[in-house]
Structure formats: structure tokens, C-alpha cells
Amino acid sequence: MVDQTVPAKGNVLGSLVPARYVLAVLGSIAMAIIYGLKVNLSVAMVAMLNHSALAAHSSSPAEAKEHVNAEPVCQGSNSTEAVEDGPFIWSEPVQGMILSCYFWGYLVSQVPGARVAESFSARWVMFFSVLINVVCTLLTPVAAKMHYVAMIVMRIGEGIGGGVTFPAMHVMLASWAPPNERSVMSAIVYAGTALGTVISMLMAGVLAGTLGWESVFYVMGGLSCLWMVLWLWLVQDTPSKQALISQEERDFITSSLGSGSASGHNEPKPPVPWRKVFTSGPFYGILIAHVCNNWGWYMLLIELPFYMKQVLQFNIKENAVVTAIPFLTMWFFSMALSKTLDALRTRGKITTTIARKTATFIASAVPMVCLLALCYIGCQRGLAVTLMTIGITAIGGMFCGLLSNHIDIAPNYAGTLMAITNTAATLSGIIVPIFVGQITHGNQTIGAWRVIFFVTIVLYVVEIIAYLLLASGEEQPWNKGDKPASSIEAAEAEATPLNAKEPKQNYNGQEQ
């Protein structure tokens, strides 16, 4: 009786909204929550710190003499308003440790989380990821008042939950996204990181400036609970398990991916061919690009509020707005770029390889040029904001570039590949706050930040060269596992007629 009524409900919803885009939107919201709860501390910490006390103890007389001729910071208005003096006297190295310890948990959870998502359920992995982040966020004010070590524990917990999100969503996309819609769906999901950054920074600035820094964690953690209900109700691991989907859309996804991909866990995937993965040029292209791009990403994501405060002298409300706007433009840009590249691929104008390399080049070359210019414009606040907006906007190309590339080269192991490259890239998230904290300790000047920006520029150059030389958008033979070459060729020959005969489909999966 149940099996007969549930599909009827699914047909109603499925005829109105494609289930795969319900997944994409809720996946985007999940990424927004994870990133929002991660970056809110970067803004809230500006209000949590006692800047007057820190300024008095920031350097010894010898250090003060050493930096007497250093380039001064810019002059701003209302940069020392009362709301910005909080209860905590945490030095720059301690601040860097608190911000970076998120990635200690993030680092260790990715590969195990990916294997659980691939072998059992990516849907449940995502659910518990958000749940852990919500609980740790709600406990953050209590932990901060206890000791900064308790803060570190909460941040590590958030990192453990956050670390599994990218691998789990890659597994979901590999089971749900038709190849010709992969860029768009990936961009929708992963652009949620930018959207979450925007909302979090704006909300954190307003809440901290009006209701106090504790409200940042209570309000944002509480609002995130609604997503968990919607996720369990509306999303399943694969189209074959989804009741809230039309039969036409289910058939469309099945035919475009092949029965094994569409059915997901119904057919066990072969073991990961580790040796072939770690001798693959396209894999190393993604790995190097991911590590270098993440350095620039986290430099702007985590440290931008401190640059705004220390050098450009924005107060907390200005800081929140100016820091958040570029991530909003990034969201729009990533949507437009992914749609354009998918359209060109569908028409046969460009290959998947060219699409991925184009998007990744934009995501690295443009911010590199903007950071180079930022090193020499001094205190021109308007120009600095413009350059940072352009640079951060362009980073949105990574969502339909290198971050989608794992699914292209090995959809069977997309979660594991993402876990490996993202684990390596997480080292950037650990190093960046500590690196910036050490460089700016007692030396919060334009000159210090110039050193920081030049290091980032060099890594962007490495990324561009490595990705253009090594990356590929073609499925690799080892995606079939450690099978003999003859078996792989037979499997590919069998799959070719299916792809060739695939009917042209419209947005809702209907044949045209």
C-alpha cells in the first residue's frame, strides 16, 4: 500500500520541480551553512577582542623601535568604536591558532568520510556534518568564556563535520548530475560556500554590532536547524531511492549516467585503484591546483576581515559589508560562467577539458593580478575594495573548474578523489592563519601584508602552470578499478552505443 501512494506524491512534486535541482539547492544551502558557521568567527572575533589592551601589549619597546619606520596603516573613521572592544585578550598567534584549528579536524575526517559516503550513504554523512557544526556553534560562546583551549575544541569539532561535506556532495553529484549539467549543478552546490560567506559575514557584523558577539553563534546556529528537516524529507542518495521524483526524470538521469551510476549503491563499486590514482597526471593537475587555489581562497576568506581592520581601518560594520559583497558577486559570476561553459560543451564548441581549464585559469589569474595591484596602491580604500571584489568574484570559476574535475576523470571515486585533494589543500587552511599571524605580529602594516600577498601570487603562478599542463576532463581508464586493459576496453565499447543513442533531453528530462 505504501509503495503505491508514495510514488503518486513524488509525481506531483517531480512534475513541478526537478528532483536533481532540489538536491542541488539543498546541497548549496548545506555548503552555505558549513561555510557560514566557519567564517562567522572571522568577523565575530573582531568584536570579541579587546583591541585597546592588545595594542598596549602588542610589541616590546625594542619591537616598537624596529617598526618605527615601517609603513603606517591607513587612516579610517570610527575604527575604535566601543563595540569593537570585547572581553578577550588573545594575541595574534593565539588568534591564528583558534582560526586554523578548524582545519585540524577538517584534515582528518575527509578520506574516512568519503569512503563512508561512497560505501553507505552520502545523504546521512551530509546530515551529521551539519548537525555537528550546529551543536559546536551553539556551544561556542560558553567555550570562549571558559578558555581559548575550549574554543579550539569546538572549532576542531566543526572541522570534523565540515571536512566530509565536499567528498559527500561529490558522491551525491556523481549519482545525480547528468554529464551535460554537471558544471551547472556543481556550481549551484559549491557556490553555496560563497553565498554562506556573504550571509554569515553580513549577519555576523550586524549581530555583533547590535546584540553582542554571542548572538552571532546562537542565531546562526539556531537557524541552521531547519535545513536538517528539509534534507531528510526531500533528498535521497540516488534517483532510484527517491520517491519525490517523476519517472521521466528518473529515466533521464539513469540513461545519461548509465544504470550503475544512477542506481548508486545497488551495484558495489570496485576497490580504489590507489597505485593508478597516484600515478595519474590529471589527478596531480587537480591536486596541485586545489592546494594552491585553496591558499588564495583561505587567504581572502579568513584573513580579509583582518586586513580590512588592521590596514584599511574599517570598523566592524563597514568590515562586514565590504568583506561580504565580493562573495555575493562571486556567487552570480560562478552561476553565469558554469551555465555558459555547459552550453558551449553541449553544442560541441569546447571540450570538457577546455571548459575546466578555462574556469580554473580565470579563478587563479584574475585574483593573482588583483593581489599584485593591491601591493602597490597603498591606502586608496576605494580602489582596494574594487580590486578585492574583482579578485574574489573571479575565484568563483573554481566551482565549475577544478572542483568539478574529480567527477569527470573518475565518477566512481569522485568522493575519494575530492577527499584526497581537499585534505592536501586543507594544509593551506591550517598554515594561512598561522602564517599571517606571525607576519603581522607587532607589525600590522601595509609592508607586512605585501609579503603575504606576494607568497599568494607565487602559488597562483604554480597553479596555472600545473593545471594547464596536466589537467584533463576525460574519464580515466582506472575509473573501472584495477581491471585488465581488455576488460576496460570491452566496458567502454559497451557504453559507447548507450551514449550515442542517448536522446536529447530538455531541462525537466523530457525528450524533445
Predicted pLDDT at 71:
53
Lowest mean pLDDT among 126-140, 258-272, 370-384, 419-433: 258-272
**CA neighbor of 104 nearest in space, from 171, 36, 47, 151:** 151
pLDDT digits (tens, 9 = 90+) for 79-95: 444 445 777 778 777 88
**CA neighbor of 48 nearest in space, from 309, 344, 223, 331:** 309
Count how many residues are written for the chain.
Answer: 512
What is the chain's Cα-based Rg? Answer: 23
Average the pLDDT over 252-257 and give the result.
86
Which residues, listed in sequence order, are joined to residue 511 by a DSSP beta bridge?
505
Residue labelled with grid coordinates 560556500: 193
Residues 6+ apart with CB under 8 A from 394: 330, 333, 362, 363, 365, 366, 367, 370
The average confidence (pLDDT) of the chain is 80
- Statement: residue 404 has pLDDT above 50: yes
Yes or no: say if 323 and 304 are a contact pair by the CB < 8 Å rule. yes
Instruction: Report the distance separating Cα 45 and Cα 102, nearest Å.
Output: 14
Predicted pLDDT at 69:
44
pLDDT digits (tens, 9 = 90+) for 446-487: 788 888 889 999 999 999 999 999 999 999 999 876 555 444
- Statement: residue 303 has pLDDT above 80: no
Lowest mean pLDDT among 56-60, 198-202, 423-427: 56-60
pLDDT band at 503 (very low <50, low <70, confident <90, very high): very low
pLDDT digits (tens, 9 = 90+) for 185-243: 988 898 888 788 778 878 887 888 788 888 899 999 988 999 999 999 999 998 988 88
Instruction: Report the distance separating Cα 92 and Cα 79, nearest Å.
Output: 18
pLDDT band at 111 (very low <50, low <70, confident <90, very high): confident
Lowest mean pLDDT among 61-75, 403-417, 466-480, 485-499: 485-499
pLDDT digits (tens, 9 = 90+) for 155-189: 999 999 998 999 999 899 988 988 888 888 988 89
CA 288 → CA 169, 284, 291, 396, 405, distances in Å?
21, 6, 5, 18, 13
Instruction: Report the distance separating Cα 153 and Cα 320, nearest Å.
Output: 26
Yes or no: say if 193 and 363 are a contact pair by the CB < 8 Å rule. no
Cell digits of residue 247: 519517472
